[in-house]
Structure 1
Amino acid sequence: MAHDWHRFFEARQCVSSRRGRGTDRDLELMTHDGPDGSVLTVWDAEKDVSRPIAGDYGDPRNAVLSADGTAILNLLDDNGSEMGHVWSLPVDGGPPDNLTPGLPPYTLRGIDVARTGDLAVVSAVDGDGFSLLLLDTTGERPPRRLFSSTAEAWNALVSADGKWAAVDTTDHNPGLRRFAVTVVSTSADGPETPLTLSDGPAEPVRGIRFSPVPGDDRLLVSTERTGHLRPCVWHHTARSRIDLDAPHLTGDVAPLDWSDDAAYVLLVHVDAGVHHVLEWHPETGALRDVPHPPGAFFEADIADAHTNYWASHYGADGQIRLLHQRFDQPLSLLRADRETGEVTPRWTPPLRPRGVPLTSHTLRSADGTPVQLWAGRPAGAEGPRPLLFSVHGGPQLVTVDRYTPEAQAWLANGFAYAAVNYRGSQTFGRDFREGFWGRVGEREMEDVAACVEWLVREGVAAPGAIFISGASYGGYLSLLSLGRRPDLFAGALAFVPMADWTGAYADMNPALRTAMRTFFQRDPDDEPEAFRQASPISWVEQVRAPVWIKTGSHDTRTPPRQVHGYAEALEAAGGDVTVEWFSGGHETSSRTAELADQQRMMDLVAMALRGERWARGPVTPPPPGSVGHP
């Protein structure tokens, strides 16, 4: 079946679906993988009619529909740099409109649209700090700043009628990513004093969504009073709240959405990485299981425009729309009938050939901390195999049971595959998510090593034939692993990696500089040794395995200069390193590019297993015009 591996990428059709906020029509904004990049489609759920959207609409994961469904709102930037402006882009292809023309370029960290009227809010980050901006989606009125701070503040939300806006803030806790939720009036003559929901300096609160009923100002939030995510309904004007503590449930319980009548809340209980869908009735406290097949039903984000990359939600008919996928099954939309419990598909993409499922395992790290690992062998295979070890980015993201064509490609070619949720991952509780703070790289290395040793001990992985791969923070951990634990890996395949924390600082966008100080719990000018110790560039003398890096010329998260500096240092130390550049920022979304990258990685791994070098000459510098270069 090895010759068919490319078909797993071709089967990857819809990767997310986000319902429009408007009350008049039941629309979904869907992101599809196309051969040349992601494609946005507006699906009219009532008519079951889909309409592809043409033109440049930025990173489709961040896009939202206007309330009337006639326009897409999103950040447009310079070649993926993530610094730009929010534009209104008509669905019918009319001329776009810059909604913030008078502002300096900014990074988007939140966007939401009122269900009625022409108002939207965005969280913007620039060199002056963090702002909550009120926008007129028609472009007739200039943006108005509702809130600003030099401390982290993002995740903009707006009430259904546009009268209130919320943002996750850290003014009560500067320098720590432990949020409170702050609500402000959008009216120029409304209350001037913001209202804040905080559970104290150690227990974050995050906004999820205002009630979808116009005139109902309640806000659905997540809390961590128990150390794990729990839902809460905050009635800020009444100074009251309803919490679901659910002490009988182990792990996180993540709130996803309100029903349209605001009577019910959709939840997902995450137990050791496995998802269980629930529905909560806040007024009575009733909690019930929602029938569903095994798999994942949402994927948490941490620092982009939305709380989740994709998530199950309610439809206008009052029924639950389960976005469902597994490692071996692409994203499908299922309808869960709340009365009968019957689950039926609305759309399910074909998958040929069939994929291989992965199994969740929980093992112990060096200090006894439980760590969750997804792992699997090729269909019908027994005994140790060469293995691709995947490390997600973020760091505060998570690997869920999500369709992964890269995993299926490796499995189809006779490799075992594993993916770790190391300390720093979401949905395993606050202590686990913050477990790397102040000691970046240390706990993650312990977790990676524990997983690799378990895979060898269990007879899944063949020693000497294990390759590590990841993007962004996952690319960072891939490079760091080769320097800190050169005995474990036969090679690293790193996308857009962080290789030198200190060297990257000057070229990072402002939002990432703030995040970096949160992770390290210090400033690079105050304690440079901590940043040096955490940087892969400091460990190049210990690297024994080959390194392949692919990275973007306009990346402001993991900038090009620090990648090139690492490659030159490794080359000078006698290392086998190859750097390949692409024109763009921190993300690649072209299916054609993904197929080419997968083939390239397979070729390199085959070379390594034959004992051949990867480098074919000196490392290539960033192209002219790259971030940090003239």
Structure 2
Amino acid sequence: MTESNGPQRGDGSMRADGSMPDWERRFRAPRVGLPRWAEDAPDRSLFTSNVTGTFELYAWDRATGAQRQATDRPNGTTGGLLSPDGEWIWWFSDKDGDEFGVWMRQPFHGGPDEPATPGLDPSYPDGLALGRDGTAVVGRSTDKGGSTVHVVRPGAEPVEIYRHTESAGVGDLSHDGTLIAIEHTEHGDAMHSAIRVVRADGTAVAELDDTRGGTEELGLSAMGFAPVDGDSRLLVGHQRRGRWEPLLWDPVTGEETTLAVELPGDLGADWYPDGSALLIEHSYQARSELWRYELGSGELTRLETPEGTVSGALPRPDGTVEFLWSSAAKPPVVRSTSGRVVLDPPAPAHGVGSAPDSVPVSDAWVPGPGGDVHALVQKPAGEGPFPTVFDIHGGPTWHDSDAFAAGPAAWVDHGFAVVRVNYRGSTGYGRAWTDALKHRVGLIELEDIAAVRDWAVASGLADPDRLVLAGGSWGGYLTLLGLGTQPDAWALGLAAVPVADYVTAYHDEMEALKALDRTLLGGTPEEVPERYAASSPLTYVDDVRAPVYISAGMNDPRCPIQQVENYVDRLTERGHPHEVYRYDAGHGSLVVEERIKQLRLEIAFAERHLSRPAGSDRPGDPDRPGPRG
């Protein structure tokens, strides 16, 4: 066993000529997120950037062009929102990434931070909606009290309007501030929410619940109330036809309006500011595009976007749409349907320019036990078979797409092929595919990964003796589970912030994830111990043959540290080759140098335990989605 703090910046990271390798430049290159503006002051925007080396919130006054850094914390800040009038920046303050804290606020043009919700104790955030009269609707959860929703008015004590032991959160607040949408799982299925609309005093208005009366439970998602006074319609995502798509529901009248948007794949939606049309975000086979849907006529018009992935989009009052776009080969950029680049990153102090391109992905459709499995493949120049990293996404309800990611690009730079698998449990391939992993959790996903692994070897892409199983969060969990249940298949395992001991993880994790685990496995560890045992990497730790690298955040509320230590102790007792890297953050890090350090440690571990790939004298962003969420 090795306990490592890792090499410092510059240890083996510079080329012989002193230049920075491309893989590090992709991390350090300044980037920005999609700017979100105040509803009633669209010239005032808030965005995230890594320009200081840590992801923080920035205020942008579009009228003057002025930008300023709004938050500055050692472990970064990304959770923020502007009040509708643009006067206040709200941001969530936790401790070292533990996700447990309080909402703070500061004036848009600068000034001291102050508690935004005085009277509310620290909690995990479960949604926030801000009203035009200064009212805030705050969703909260703790490890003891379940989920609550509070209404906070200026100068008044917070008023609790909702409480339940199952997970719930704030969906939205109506434009006139009279209606509140709450997504809840009182029925006990944390994967499929119902929607309750209440008044500001908590009295019920209406309920929309697709989990009742059918043979299968279907989920709903509150996408937002109409953006004009006097219109009580709520935009709702539903799964009634086997995929996510929008409908309109008026909780006051009970009227539902089905929208005729006949596109394959999943559909998200948002309102245009005047309420006359919807922006449709269409996701299909790991790519996405944008459409405008006219509510009056039903006309559907495609908006021009490059091939790749739109990671977020918002309509502007002038009718244009701003969107964050990237592809596996091209770094992210904030674009507009007007044809211009909307926002360049602030000038970095370190002088690193834009991120270098990477290689495009190709698609593989592989027959699996539950249907064809979609995989995305990147490979270096030359002929295979290559040493190959199976980079497994987190979630599990997430999917890899044709989007820029510095982590996979770094492995390609080192001479590795990278395969990303959208296993059963992934989103984007219909409700049945996403819901398929219940009860045989982890084992079903690994069946799909095994099918793609066999294809990669048979096709000549992957060297069967140099197969690396890797991932973060749920992907880290599948890595450890795969090393134990498929011990002959993998030469190496790299697990970041994983579930390692499912029973201990359940008892230590945040309450919302306990609810998710009860849904996935059909109960608590005490109620269905055999399912937790079958799905826990700790059960199979003595069967692991490949060297194991594990990284874990000391303050992680999603994959807590003690259950990782339990797994590591068993590896140590066996004398099995492994390394562990612990760092002072939560479920991943927002610090650029920390991300580089972690990936450098992974690459070094792989190169020590595998024969070095030919031509890899060159030395991404482990931007693995994290959730377990």
- TM-score by length of structure 2 reads 0.88
**Counterpart residue type for residue 252 of structure 1:** D
Residue in 2 that maps onto 1:183: 197
Whether 1:223 and 2:238 are equivalent positions in the alignment is yes
Whether 1:5 and 2:5 are equivalent positions in the alignment is no
- For structure 1, which segment, 489-498 or 148-157, has the greater mean C-alpha deviation from structure 2 after superposition? 148-157
1:562 and 1:54 mapped to 2: Cα distance?
Answer: 33
**Counterpart residue type for residue 271 of structure 1:** Y
Task: Describe the shift of the 1:549–1:57 C-alpha distance in structure 2 as closer, same or farther (beyond 3 A).
Answer: closer
Whether 1:81 and 2:77 are equivalent positions in the alignment is no
1:87 and 1:347 mapped to 2: Cα distance?
Answer: 26
2:124 and 2:156 mapped to 1: Cα distance?
Answer: 21
Checking the alignment, whether the CA contact within 8 Å between 1:20 and 1:66 is kept in structure 2 is no
Checking the alignment, whether the CA contact within 8 Å between 1:129 and 1:151 is kept in structure 2 is yes
Checking the alignment, whether the CA contact within 8 Å between 1:326 and 1:403 is kept in structure 2 is yes
2:75 and 2:415 mapped to 1: Cα distance?
Answer: 37
Residue in 1 that maps onto 2:204: 193
**Counterpart residue type for residue 298 of structure 2:** G
**Counterpart residue type for residue 9 of structure 1:** F
Alignment of 1:383-402 (within 5 A): 383-402=384-403
Superposed CA offset, 1:532-574 (max 9, x none): 1111111111111111111111112111111011011122233
1:289 and 1:463 mapped to 2: Cα distance?
Answer: 44
Alignment of 1:44-193 (within 5 A): 44-56=61-73, 60-114=77-131, 116-126=132-142, 127-136=144-153, 139-171=154-186, 173-186=187-200, 188=201, 192-193=203-204
The number of residue pairs the alignment matches comes to 582
Q: Please state whether the residue corresponding to 1:20 is helix, strand or coil.
A: strand
Residue in 2 that maps onto 1:621: none
Give the CA deviation at 1:176.
4.3
Task: Describe the shift of the 1:511–1:89 C-alpha distance in structure 2 as closer, same or farther (beyond 3 A).
Answer: farther
1:267 and 1:47 mapped to 2: Cα distance?
Answer: 31
Checking the alignment, whether the CA contact within 8 Å between 1:34 and 1:591 is kept in structure 2 is no
Superposed CA offset, 1:458-511 (max 9, x none): 222111112122111111011111111122221111111110111122321212
- For structure 1, which segment, 573-582 or 560-569, has the greater mean C-alpha deviation from structure 2 after superposition? 573-582
Whether 1:251 and 2:265 are equivalent positions in the alignment is yes
Whether 1:458 and 2:459 are equivalent positions in the alignment is yes
Residue in 2 that maps onto 1:359: 362
**Counterpart residue type for residue 404 of structure 1:** A
Superposed CA offset, 1:27-75 (max 9, x none): 3321112454212112234444322224349863321112232332233
2:251 and 2:76 mapped to 1: Cα distance?
Answer: 33
1:468 and 1:317 mapped to 2: Cα distance?
Answer: 48
Of structures 1 and 2, the one scoring higher in RCO (CA 8 A, sep 6+) is 2
Q: Please state whether the residue corresponding to 1:312 is helix, strand or coil.
A: strand
Residue in 1 that maps onto 2:620: none
Checking the alignment, whether the CA contact within 8 Å between 1:394 and 1:472 is kept in structure 2 is yes
- TM-score by length of structure 1 reads 0.88
Residue in 2 that maps onto 1:624: none
The alignment yields a C-alpha RMSD, in angstroms, of 2.2
Superposed CA offset, 1:245-302 (max 9, x none): 54x43221222x211101111112222222132111223222221121101113xxxx
Residue in 2 that maps onto 1:598: 599
Checking the alignment, whether the CA contact within 8 Å between 2:329 and 2:357 is kept in structure 1 is yes
2:242 and 2:373 mapped to 1: Cα distance?
Answer: 17
Superposed CA offset, 1:436-468 (max 9, x none): 112211211111111211222222211111212
Checking the alignment, whether the CA contact within 8 Å between 1:11 and 1:330 is kept in structure 2 is no
Checking the alignment, whether the CA contact within 8 Å between 2:171 and 2:223 is kept in structure 1 is no
Residue in 2 that maps onto 1:306: none
Give the gaps of 5 or more residues in structure 1. Answer: 299-310, 338-342, 612-630
Q: Percent identity?
A: 30
Give the CA deviation at 1:117.
2.6
Task: Describe the shift of the 1:430–1:282 C-alpha distance in structure 2 as closer, same or farther (beyond 3 A).
Answer: same
Q: Please state whether the residue corresponding to 1:61 is helix, strand or coil.
A: coil
Q: Please state whether the residue corresponding to 1:506 is helix, strand or coil.
A: helix
Superposed CA offset, 1:2-48 (max 9, x none): 9432112122512x224133312333321112454212112234444
1:462 and 1:94 mapped to 2: Cα distance?
Answer: 57
Residue in 1 that maps onto 2:617: none
